[in-house]
């Protein structure tokens, strides 16, 4: 599934037109990651993105503006600071409040249409359990924070971070990273790294960490 690392030129143009200048929010995903994930949703004719973890809603807003799917269901554990703004300005976004891990399986069955899952909270093993619960029902699942570099940082919060190694063992997929990816799409992330990081070196350490895994409703090879 190497082609998932690329976005068709036409979609890149649409992405630039509709999302360029949306201010990056602290801790948010990177524009390059959202372009490629959104393009994949379009290629795979996804109707609904089911997002777990929106915090300030950067990913939610960008995917809403990109408009590659009919709706975006976006969950977070509690009400978030920009929820009212998102409700007012992003008509294709439906906000959910609560622990998405409790609903993910049953929600996938009740949503009509083709669903893509985007997990940016919880992280690591609970995210893998979530995908496992609904693997057969979704077209594709993207999980954030699976960079090899963060694994190399070693122990975090008393626990060794082995998320990337675990993901590679558990699921077939691909990861948005590498020099080719950065050379092709890194330009989109200039505004994000300027706001959130002290240097480009910081950004490449924490950024580019999206894993993409096909589910049971994936079409094609
Ligand atoms: C890194 S932030 C999300 C950033 C957002 N995707 C963006 O790009 O702007 C992670 C969020 O995941 C939420 N979260 C963690 N576990 C969750 C769960 N089980 N269900 C729903 N949200 C969860 C946290 O509350 C936090 O706000």
Mutation test residue for ligand 1: of 22, 59, 61, 77, the one with most atoms within 8 Å of CB: 77
> Cα separations (Å) of 127 from 17, 123, 143?
32, 5, 7
Instruction: Output the pLDDT for position 191.
Output: 78
Question: Any idea how long the chain is?
Answer: 221
Ligand 1 mean position, distance from CA 221 (Å)? 31
Nearest partner of 143 among 184, 185, 176, 112, judged by Cα: 176
Q: Calculate how far, in angstroms, residue 10's C-alpha sits from the geometric centre of ligand 1.
A: 30
55 lines ligand 1 (CB under 6 A): yes
What pLDDT was estimated at residue 180? 78
Domains of the chain and CATH, by start: 2-212 (3.40.50)
Q: Give pLDDT, residue 121.
A: 96
Residue 58 DSSP symbol: H
Integer Cα distance of 5 and 182 in angstroms? 11
pTM above 0.95, yes or no: no
Q: Please give the pLDDT value at position 88.
A: 98
Q: How high is the mean pLDDT in each 10-residue block of the chain (221 residues)?
A: 73 96 90 95 97 98 97 98 98 97 90 96 95 96 86 58 89 85 84 69 63 94 75
Are 75 and 47 contacting, i.e. CB atoms less than 8 angstroms apart?
no
Q: What is the pLDDT of residue 157?
A: 52
In this predicted structure, what is the pLDDT of residue 2? 52
**Mutation test of ligand 1: which of 76, 85, 147 has the most ligand atoms closer than 8 Å to its C-beta?**
76
């Amino acid at each position: 599934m190497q082609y998932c690392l690329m976005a068709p030129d036409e979609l890149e143009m649409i992405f630039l037109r509709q999302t360029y200048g949306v201010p990056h929010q602290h801790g948010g995903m990177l524009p390059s990651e959202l372009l490629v994930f959104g393009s994949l949703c379009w290629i795979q004719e996804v109707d609904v993105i089911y997002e777990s973890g929106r915090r300030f809603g950067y990913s939610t807003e960008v995917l809403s503006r990109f408009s590659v799917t009919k709706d975006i269901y976006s969950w977070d554990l509690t009400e978030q600071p920009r929820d009212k703004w998102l409700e007012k300005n992003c008509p294709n976004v439906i906000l959910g409040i609560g622990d998405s891990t409790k609903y993910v399986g049953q929600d996938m069955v009740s949503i009509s249409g083709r669903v893509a899952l985007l997990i940016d909270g919880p992280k690591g093993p609970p995210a893998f359990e979530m995908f496992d619960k609904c693997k057969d029902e979704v077209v594709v699942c993207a999980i954030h924070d699976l960079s090899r570099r963060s694994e190399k940082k070693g122990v975090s919060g008393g626990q060794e971070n082995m998320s990337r190694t675990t993901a590679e063992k558990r699921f077939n997929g691909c990861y948005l990273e590498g020099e080719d990816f950065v050379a092709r799409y890194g330009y989109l992330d200039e505004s994000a790294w300027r706001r959130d990081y002290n240097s480009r070196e910081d950004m490449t350490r924490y950024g580019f960490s999206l894993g993409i895994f096909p589910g049971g409703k994936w079409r094609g090879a």
